[in-house]
Amino acid sequence: MGAKDRVLDPFVGAGTTVLAAREQGVPATGFDLSPLAVLAARTKVSDLDVKRLSALSSRLLDSLGKPGRAHGRYSQLVRRALPGRLLGTFASALATIAELPLSEPERDFFRLGVLGVIPRYSRAIPAGGWLKWVKTRAPAHTFPHALAERLGMMLSDLNRVHRPSGSQWAVEQADARRLPVTGRVFTAVITSPPYPNRHDYTRVFGVELMLAFLNWEQTRALRYQSFHSHPEARPQRPVPRGYQRPSTLREIVSLIQAASTDRRVPAMVEGYFIDMYLALSEIRRVCLPGARVAVVVGNAQYCGVLVPVDELCAEVGEQAGLACRRILAVRYRGNSAQQMGKYGRRPSRESIVTFVVP
């Protein structure tokens, strides 16, 4: 793979695929629905001057004054997660970054640094697919030191990797079921859609999203529109023309319906593969003939019912017009503590499903 190739990751997440492509000098484009994911991934592939960023970091840290009161309409989640002086501390840092004479990539770099230290201070911490509330975290007066440490780590990461300059690497906010791409331009796809594990990332990263990007209503809209991998999703999706529900999926959904008291779970499993079909159809639409596609997925289980996500992904990919080549099992994950206690230890495999575009 080289400079004549072009890689696509329609679920860019933290940007691993696009960053790896850049390190190898291979043009790449990533998309994600989450503005937080886009910020993280875009920062990793931006042209950044490490010496200038180091000087700007010192200027930013020197500019941090005493936190004032947080102005603006922050959600109850943000106010509860960052009580007392904490919310003012973070709001003041973000306001300072907005006022400094920075390029957009530089501004993104420092915003990401501020958001990256939230877990040290937030009373709401990720626990699986939800947030757990804790009473005490680091005090507000340690924020400048924590930010300096975080920015130093980020600068060290920039220094450590080879990053060719240029504009062949981009990350944009978009829905994988409706990509803003015209024509067939990609020669390879490496991606990992959300697993159908009921994790709602708009909740897991709710503090970051509602502090820096979205209000409560906008976050709820993102939750509803997200990939149907959690029960609260209710996406407005394109019509899945040509999709036929696999017979195996029909049996699985029937078993879950009989066993589950949460009516949203069978609908989630059903909707997940409709979304997968739409995303794989888009991949076929935007890829050149002969393009190689690798999709990392994780199998799931609900109420003791196993869901072979990899096999079903292969089947709906074939429906979408791709030619499945192999399913490679790469590791096995234990089921959740709740599932294990009730149904015993039944590991689920994570796999790479590979396709070729005809």
Q: Are residues 222 and 205 in the same domain?
A: yes
* Closest to 43 measured CA to CA, from 91, 109, 142, 94: 109
Domain that holds residue 117: 48-160
Q: Are residues 128 and 219 located together in one domain of the fold?
A: no
Q: What is the pLDDT of residue 67?
A: 61
Res 52 pLDDT > 90: yes
Q: What is the pLDDT of residue 127?
A: 83
Amino acid type, 346:
R
| 239 and 315 part of one domain | yes
Same domain flag for 274 and 205 = yes
Are 149 and 123 part of one and the same domain? Answer: yes
Q: Is the same domain home to 237 and 126?
A: no
Three-point CA angle 122, 128, 134, nearest 5°:
30
- Verify that 154 and 273 share a domain, yes or no: no
Give the tens place of pLDDT for each residue, 313-348.
999 999 999 999 999 999 987 655 455 455 556 788
Query: Are 13 and 57 in a shared domain?
Result: no
Q: Are residues 247 and 338 in the same domain?
A: yes
The pLDDT value recorded for residue 197 is 86
Identity of residue 239:
V
Structural domains counted in the chain? 3
Q: What is the CATH number of the domain that holds 40?
A: 3.40.50.150
- Measured in residues, the chain has a length of 358
Looking at the structure, do residues 222 and 303 belong to the same domain, yes or no? yes
Specify the pTM: 0.93
Specify whether 100 is located in the same domain as 133: yes
Mean pLDDT estimate for the chain: 92
Q: Same domain, yes or no, for 60 and 186?
A: no
Of 147, 174, 201, which residue constitutes the final position of a domain? 174
